[in-house]
Amino acid sequence: MPLKASYFWVYLIFCLLTSCGEGIDGEALSLNKLGSNLEEDRSFNGEELAVAKRVCNSLRDKRSSLLDNKFNSTTFTLTQKRTDCDLVVTSQELTDVGINQGALGEPFKLEQTSNNKNFTEIILTNEDGILKNVCTQVLKGELPKIREVINDTSSMNIIFKTSDNLDSAFVFVGKKEFDSEGVEQFPINQEQRFKFLTTDSAGDFEGFTKEHLALELSCSTADKFIILQTILTTD
């Protein structure tokens, strides 16, 4: 298959204080729902709500740790790999990043520590990032629904479950289209998976993302994607 200039988005793995294998795990491939439609809206079931509560409480605890400046002197080293649509690695680089809040009230970010700041990633908390709205509902004791409207043309499903013994959030983004009969549908063009450290054994790193998988449909077939694998260690 000829390579396209337009690549799939990213595949990220954040590994805190652990070692990571290379390549794509079988679960990552099985989760590929690109091109299928978003699930119909419904309320969280009991298992999903239980996982969401653990995740959102851990994200709230992480935000408190960030506000207490527990990680100001911590440097994280990320190994980034990018592939083309045929899964051939095209680049690999090491990046040292630190935690930065910026102006008061702005989200915490992982930012490159060198002057050439070409890497930045918003750190997920209960008040920042893609899980903000659902965590607001969960922490208020409300029962969320899996469908969330992003804008006039896009919506997403957020589904919580346990994956590899880790509490996880799965995010599927669909863009609104109409079929030949004029029926509204939302084919998935982006999906993400977050695996969190939510137990007391995680220590100060409770609520941090251990693994982040992200796929975006921009190659000619839905089973091809670019990978950006990131291994995170601390000094």
The whole-number pLDDT of residue 141 equals 97
Q: What band does 216 get if pLDDT is binned at 50, 70 and 90?
A: low
* pLDDT reported for residue 25: 44
Predicted pLDDT of residue 229: 39
Q: Work out the average pLDDT over 229-233.
A: 43
Q: Which residues of 73-88 are buried (b: 16+ CB within 10 A; e: fewer)?
A: eeebebbbbbbbbeee
Q: How many other C-beta atoms lie within 10 A of the C-beta of residue 184?
A: 8
Please give the mean pLDDT across all residues of the chain: 75
Please name which of 191, 153, 158 lies closest in space to residue 175, comparing C-alpha atoms: 153
Task: Kindly state the tokens that stand for 13.
Answer: 């793995």
pLDDT tens column, 87-101: 566 666 677 778 887
Q: How confident is the model at residue 117 (pLDDT cuts 50, 70, 90)?
A: low
Q: How many residues does the chain have?
A: 235
Give the type of residue at 3: L
> Which backbone phi and psi does 50 adopt, to 5 degrees?
-60, -45
Query: CB-based burial of residue 233 (10 Å sphere; 0-12 exposed, 13-18 middle, 19+ buried)?
Result: middle
From CA 126, how far away is CA 56, in angstroms rounded?
6
Residue where the block lists tokens 């997403």: 156
The pLDDT value recorded for residue 202 is 78
Q: How confident is the model at residue 49 (pLDDT cuts 50, 70, 90)?
A: very high
- What would the pLDDT profile of 123-135 be if each residue is shown by its tens digit? 899 999 999 999 9
- The lowest-confidence range among 42-46, 112-116, 121-125, 224-228 is 224-228
Does residue 106 register a pLDDT over 50? Answer: yes
